[in-house]
Amino acid sequence: MCQERSSAKRMNNCNREGVCCGEMQMVCLTDFEEYAKEHLSKATWDYYAAGADECCTRDDNLLAYKRIRLRPRILRDVSVSDTRTTVQGTEISFPVGIAPTAFHCLAWHEGEVATARATEALNTCYITSTYSTCSVEEIVAAAPNGYRWFQLYVYRDRKLSEQMVHRVEALGYKALVLTVDVPYTGKRRNDIRNQFKLPPHLKVKNFDGVFQETAGPEEYGIPANTLDPSISWKDVYWLQSITRLPIIIKGILTKEDAELAVEHGVQGIIVSNHGGRQLDGGPASIDALPEIVDTVQGRIEVYVDGGIRTGSDVLKALALGAKCVFIGRPAVWGLAYKVRL
């Protein structure tokens, strides 16, 4: 990442003659990260940046890429390049999609609607979060030709999950991304310190009207203890019984679970530690990728998220066997920058 410029230099850049040139052009994701940190509220920034406990895994997601070295080959005729690839049989313009991230409206009032328009324009894959501040219907209406998957949790009330599956299937979402690493929410210390809650004008729109208003505890916009900690491999079979959509499991970090995923007939794996937000002390996603690719042996597609900040990071992930990468936090940094445009 290029961290050589301070925010002050970016916002008050002058040429050698001392003539101010206005705001410096944003040239890498770190520029957008610094801008978002300056312009978002502390509670919002802390929510997006949060990792579990001491944030060791969150930080290692980035550091792990820096430990990987490229072995460049020369004189290979690179005069023509083509970044297109396919995911689940659909062509996208380049192998970078948007990972499921919650509450985009905290960064920019159009939120997930803006994200959907951008991914449609770029012809890449957008994994819509269950915890969106725009509904799945609003997202589809804003970008009707976009290529979208839907990120799903399994709830104690299975009917709630089942209704969401049928809802997105009817809307034309092309796959379900079953997140399996949140039997309980990770301990994100700054969220606890800040007593994080959505502001009154925002809500988890996909559950609008689903939960009765109560005085009970709330966790990230919905009643606490809604997620089902008893989720197991049998729920993959249950999900297959209620939908024809491809099922991609997000949150696998070991070869043993990768083999089980293949045996249970899923169509893809996202190697992910939830951005370091769930289990602190687990491996960086990119470090877990090679053993999973080696185990799967091309039987299903393997993707990865977590810590990807540069084109070189994308290259490293692809070289280690990922079909596509997904980025999360950088998308909300981009939305935060829209505040000034």
Q: By mean pLDDT, which of 2-11, 20-29, 141-150 is the weakest? A: 2-11
What's the pLDDT score for residue 109?
A: 95
Q: What is the mean pLDDT of the chain?
A: 92
Q: What is the DSSP letter of 205?
A: G
Tell me the mean pLDDT in the region 233-261.
Answer: 98
How far is CA 151 from each of CA 126, 144, 146, rounded to the nearest angstrom?
A: 10, 18, 16
Q: Is 173 annotated as a binding residue?
A: no
pLDDT band at 218 (very low <50, low <70, confident <90, very high): confident
SS3 content of the chain, % helix, strand, coil (to 5): 40, 15, 45
Per residue in 227-245, pLDDT tens?
999 999 999 999 999 999 9
What's the pLDDT score for residue 172?
A: 98
What's the pLDDT score for residue 214?
A: 62
15 contacts 43 by C-beta, under 8 angstroms: no
Is there a catalytic annotation at residue 274?
yes
Out of 104, 166, 201, 274, which one is annotated catalytic? 274
Per residue in 100-126, pLDDT tens?
999 999 999 999 999 999 999 999 999
Q: Is 131 annotated as a binding residue?
A: no
Measure the CA–CA gap between 189 and 193, rounded to whole angstroms: 6
Q: Is 179 annotated as a binding residue?
A: yes
Please name the helix (run of DSSP H) or strand (run of DSSP E) that holds residue 178, with its range, or none: strand 176-179
Tell me the mean pLDDT in the region 300-316.
Answer: 98
**Structure pTM?**
0.92
Measure the CA–CA gap between 145 and 177, rounded to whole angstroms: 20
Q: Is 306 annotated as a binding residue?
A: yes
